[in-house]
Amino acid sequence: MARYAAIDVGTNTVLLLVAEETPSGFRPVAERGAITRLGKGVDATRRLAPEAMERTLASLSAFAAEARALGAEGLAVSATSAARDAHNGAEFLAAARQRAGVEVEILSGEEEARLTYLAVSNDFALEAGSRELVAIDIGGGSTEFIFGTGATVRFHTSIDIGSVRLTERCVHSDPPSAEDFARLHRELDSTLASVPSPGPNALVVGVAGTVTTLYAVANAIVPYQAARVHGGWLSREALEQTRARLASEPLAARRQMPGLQPERADVIVAGAVLLERALDHLGAAGTRVSDRGLRWGLLAARFGGARG
């Protein structure tokens, strides 16, 4: 069977998917992830730091080589918020071409939303039925909200905050203080005001590492297993309990928590508050959890397997 690969270069992570195209859809052959923090400091400087680019390029090169070794006939690579916003994004693209032999496509907010919704609708549209399907993609630098029915997007918006940016802007104590939480709430409530309310009984699906990590911590999934995470239900109550537990510990202790990658420990509290506030704004009692985000939509759209 034909094999294809997609690499998603985000603000916080680099994610690889190699999959075979089968009559019923893509079947994963290999999935890898690395936390490289490409967008560290971009909110303040609007530049990609040399050390952040180096970490990201090393992972990108290794993942591209692995995809080729596994027989991928095509490789699509995308970059999102950090590369969009940085003044020296072109420098990163040139280095990726030279180091990894790949052309990185910087996605617009609109294309990022479309591809994320494609991945979500392929897996959750049947459950949603005639109800509205709402995808929330919490990244490191931005968060996308996409509303649709079936395979059709009705509305999307991207807010310029994610787990990394929120942490850099609002969290100044370890563990986070009451003042930090007040800053987080003010920032989020102001920004989320631009997001409309969905239809009644909408099915909300949370995408990407913040949501999957919170679910893994809440359910003590160690080691991480995508099959146990994908499609899970994270209630608002369980989310609040998990956030409170994370926020009560200093960073050193959070890095030891089962289910939490040590490299994500510094930004997970802000990410949890973002998800809490988003669910409250949407009037949702919880969220389905998707382990199949942008890279799955990118693979489907670029290599002819879109089945939404």
265 contacts 204 by C-beta, under 8 angstroms? no
Which tens digits make up the pLDDT trace of 106-142? Answer: 988 788 888 999 999 999 999 999 899 999 999 888 8
What pLDDT is stored for residue 83 in this prediction? 82
pLDDT in tens, 49-75: 999 999 999 999 999 999 999 999 999
- What pLDDT is attached to residue 308? 38
Give 74-90 pLDDT, tens digit per residue: 999 999 877 888 899 89
pLDDT digits (tens, 9 = 90+) for 250-274: 999 999 999 999 999 999 999 999 9
The rounded distance, in Å, linking the Cα atoms of 185 and 183 is: 5
Alpha carbons within 13 angstroms on the beta-carbon side of residue 60 total 32
pLDDT at 247 over 50: yes
pLDDT above 70 for 245: yes
pLDDT of 110 reads 82
> For residue 305, is pLDDT > 90?
no
Mind listing the pLDDT tens digit for each residue in 153-191? 999 988 888 998 999 999 999 999 999 999 999 999 999
Could you tell me the pLDDT band of residue 307, with boundaries at 50, 70 and 90?
very low
Q: In the prediction, which pLDDT does 306 show? A: 41
* Residue 149: predicted pLDDT: 92
Residue 205 pairs with which residues in a beta bridge?
135, 288
Residue 304: pLDDT over 80: no
Give the pLDDT confidence of 199-229 residue by residue, as tens digits. Answer: 778 999 999 899 999 999 999 999 999 899 9
Q: What angle do CA 151, 154, 155 make, to 5 degrees?
A: 125
Mean pLDDT across the chain? 92
| Edge-to-edge order in the sheet of strand 203-207 | 152-159, 143-149, 133-138, 203-207, 286-290, 233-235
pLDDT over 50 (residue 302) = yes
Give the sheet arrangement for strand 13-22, strand by strand. Answer: 25-35, 13-22, 3-9, 74-79, 104-106
- Which pLDDT score, from 0 to 100, does residue 1 have? 82
Q: What is the pLDDT of residue 57?
A: 96
**Conformation bin of residue 104: beta by default, left when phi > 0, alpha when psi is -120 to 50:** beta
Q: What pLDDT, on the 0 to 100 scale, is given for residue 269?
A: 97
Task: Give the domains, in start order, of the chain with CATH numbers.
Answer: 3-106 (3.30.420.40), 119-290 (3.30.420.150)
pLDDT of residue 229: 95
Q: What is the pLDDT of residue 140?
A: 85
Task: Give the pLDDT of residue 212.
Answer: 96
Give the pLDDT mean for 17-26: 90
